[in-house]
C-alpha cells in the first residue's frame, strides 16, 4: 500500500521544480529548433544565391572571351583592309605609270630559213 499512498499524495516541491525545468527545456529546445530551421533556410537561400552568382560569373566570362575574340578579329580585318588598300594603291600607281609612258615596240623578226641558230640578224632596216 505504500506505493498507492505515494501516487495519491500531492506533487512535492522538487517534482514541481523538475517538471517546470523540463517544460522550460522543451520551450528552449523548440526555440532553438525554430532558430535552426530559420538558419537552415537562410543557408539554403545563400547557396542558391551563390550558385546563381557563379552561373552569372561564368556567363560574363564567356561574354568577355567572345568580346576579346571579336576585337581580335576586327583588328585582323582592319590590318587586312589596310594591306588590300596598299595593294590597290600600288596597282593603281602601276596602271597610271603604264598608261602614261608608251609601251615599247616589239618587232617580230623572222630569220631566213637558211640562217643557222645563233646568227645575228640586222634589224635596223
- CA dist 8 → 2, 13, 15, 16, 105 (Å): 10, 15, 14, 15, 144
Q: pLDDT (tens digit, 9 = 90+) per residue, 6-62?
A: 555 778 989 999 999 999 999 999 999 999 999 999 999 999 999 999 999 999 999
Q: pLDDT (tens digit, 9 = 90+) per residue, 63-96?
A: 999 999 999 999 999 999 999 999 999 999 988 8
What is the pTM (predicted TM-score) of this model? 0.49
CB 80 within 8 A of CB 73: no
Tell me the pLDDT band of 99, cut-offs 50, 70 and 90.
confident
Amino acid at each position: 500500500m505504500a506505493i498507492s499512498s505515494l501516487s495519491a499524495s500531492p506533487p512535492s516541491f522538487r517534482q514541481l521544480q523538475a517538471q517546470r525545468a523540463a517544460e522550460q527545456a522543451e520551450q528552449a529546445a523548440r526555440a532553438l529548433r525554430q532558430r535552426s530551421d530559420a538558419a537552415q533556410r537562410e543557408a539554403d537561400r545563400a547557396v542558391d544565391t551563390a550558385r546563381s552568382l557563379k552561373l552569372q560569373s561564368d556567363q560574363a566570362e564567356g561574354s568577355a572571351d567572345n568580346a576579346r575574340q571579336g576585337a581580335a578579329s576586327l583588328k585582323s580585318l582592319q590590318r587586312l583592309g589596310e594591306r588590300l588598300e596598299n595593294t590597290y594603291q600600288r596597282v593603281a600607281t602601276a596602271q597610271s605609270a603604264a598608261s602614261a609612258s608608251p609601251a615599247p615596240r616589239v618587232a617580230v623578226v623572222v630569220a631566213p630559213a637558211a640562217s643557222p641558230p645563233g646568227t645575228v640578224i640586222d634589224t635596223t632596216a
